[in-house]
Amino acid sequence: MEEFVGSQWHQWITRKARLDYPEYGVELTQIKDELALIHRAFGGDAGKRISNTFVRQHKNSRNWVQKLAGTGHAWALSHIDHEFIRLPENLAVFANADLNRRLYRWLAALAVFIESPVENTFMANQLAAKKLLTVYPGFARDYQKLVNEMIQLRPQQKLSDKKIFEDKISAALIQPGSVTDALDLSAVYPVWMWFYPSPAQAVKQIHHSQDADSTLQNAAKATDQQHKSYQAEQVDDPDSRSGLMAFRMESLFSWIDFVPVDRTEDDQSDVNPDVADDLDKLSISPSSTSAKRVRMDLDIAIADEQDVTIEPAEIMLPEWDYRIKTLKQYHCCLKNIDTAVSSAVSLPDHLYSAARKLRRQFESLVPQKRRLKRQADGSEIDLDAWLNFVSDPAQPDQKGLYEQYRRSHRDISCLLLADLSLSTDSWVSDAGRVIDIIRDSLFLFAEALSSSGDRFALYGFSSKKRTSVNWHEIKAFIQPYDDPVRGRIVEIEPGFYTRMGAAIRYSTCLLEREPSTSKILLLLTDGKPNDLDRYEGRYGIEDTRHALLEARQKGIIPYCVTIDQYAREYLPYIFGKGAYTLVQNPAQLPSRLPGLYAQLTQM
């Protein structure tokens, strides 16, 4: 009974303390694509993506109900970082769903004009709003509606100094740029129409130190449960030599209180990753077993890339740095990995039926003889043309009286590039791992193309920083598809990370040497570009995109086939519309890959 009463009281007082209208809320996921389109259409950075922000502490004053409920001290404030425009997951500011939707649209447009990083919040938002309304005056009507409603919802202050502060905020909203005072907005209720400074530590995916490689490898094996960002801090590992330590037993299961207790992975089975949703800040150490079992966006600062001197190697490749708009020459070292096997193998039994069907379909593409009639010369007389000639003496000459036989020709070279990063070691079903699906895909793809007569090559890649981009040669263009090649397919294993730009550039070099008229680069992957040294997030995406632009300029047609369920968030920007396919069911990839190639080459 006591628990029931306490639960009811908590729910009631929490509702009373709320200043928003959850029944009229609009989810970011419902409108994210529209917001991205608005941002790009208004001239925003196409490389920035729309994502959720996280709840963080805010020093605003609270009323007595909020203090009693223990709420009103943390908010999901909009901000901009180098990679994302981060907006609240849900906006329920107004008692009108349409106004909440318009507020999202205003923020997406305002992000085009606001200087990033936002430092002087009060002035930066005024100037950005003024410029937006000047360049796009059609926004003025919606803006006035939002401002009028927002001013009415602002907390009423009785103290003179706080009332003056609120009056200045209202004046700045009504007429952007009219208030030039440098006001600190961290002590007042959030202004939902404005952007706030990004946290001191930029949001990154969980990583990054040379000592944390093992943590990253374990984290990459986990399956994404959600695409969400969190505020976090990096903490040091406990000192195991410090002896015993007194602690409360309930702390053993806490994510927020760090306890230096050496526990095995089996002992951690009672930790539920979902509790992260209830925490304002996560503390993660490089050896944290909890960090190994979840993948999420954290605002953990990463160490800047150290200037590593690379010894001259046989293959050195450039890399695009979007921050300084420069192609860094000789920046990546590509290493050929010996994929030789002790013995050749035949096609796996479970693929026989599918391979036989594909061979029959692709054998129809083998160049066949075509008879061309009414030719000026040829090996045989065209009887129809001859009869027409002799029956009509008015024919001026005897041209076009022969038949020729010519072979049709498919002048195509295709390089299939497979992502062999550590994430391919994850299980997609009880039937197997991603790497197993990639093996089957390579087998069936090779069986189909070997029957069509098209020139093709098979390669794989993974990376561990720019000093080591591992290149696996499975089948070169000049090699026949035989049992030794099948043996190399069987031998492929998950590697490390996905430095996609370097692999694409080297693939481009190989395709440039091909004499074929049509050259296709087919990329098979299960995730976006990533690596340890700054290659995570936008840096890797921009480098990959630039590498693809270089390939297109050289007449190569790039195409991506992926099983990453979040691919639609970044692949349209990297590859462009219509240049990629998302296979929803990974198990269908082996059977679908040859068909996608057939569509790509317009068979």
Give mean pLDDT in consecutive 10-residue pieces for the chain, a chain of 603 residues: 74 70 89 91 88 79 66 80 88 91 94 78 90 92 92 78 84 90 80 83 38 40 45 55 49 46 43 54 52 43 50 82 92 83 82 90 65 70 76 66 67 94 84 89 93 91 93 94 92 93 96 93 93 89 96 96 89 91 91 89 69
Under a CB-based contact definition with an 8 Å cutoff, are residues 392 and 369 in contact?
A: no
Length of the chain: 603
What are the tokens at 47? 């490389």
Rounded to 5 degrees, what are φ and ψ at 27?
Answer: -80, 140
pLDDT (0 to 100) of residue 216: 38
Q: Is the dihedral of CA 128, 134, 137, 141 positive or negative?
A: positive
Q: Which domains does the chain have, with CATH numbers?
A: 2-187 (no CATH), 204-298 (no CATH), 335-363+410-600 (3.40.50.410), 369-407 (no CATH)
Q: Which of 464, 422, 463, 471 is nearest to 210 (CA)?
A: 464
Cis peptide before 117 (omega within 30 of 0): yes
Q: What is the distance between the alpha carbons of residues 551 and 521, in angstroms, rounded to a whole number?
A: 9
pLDDT of residue 397: 57
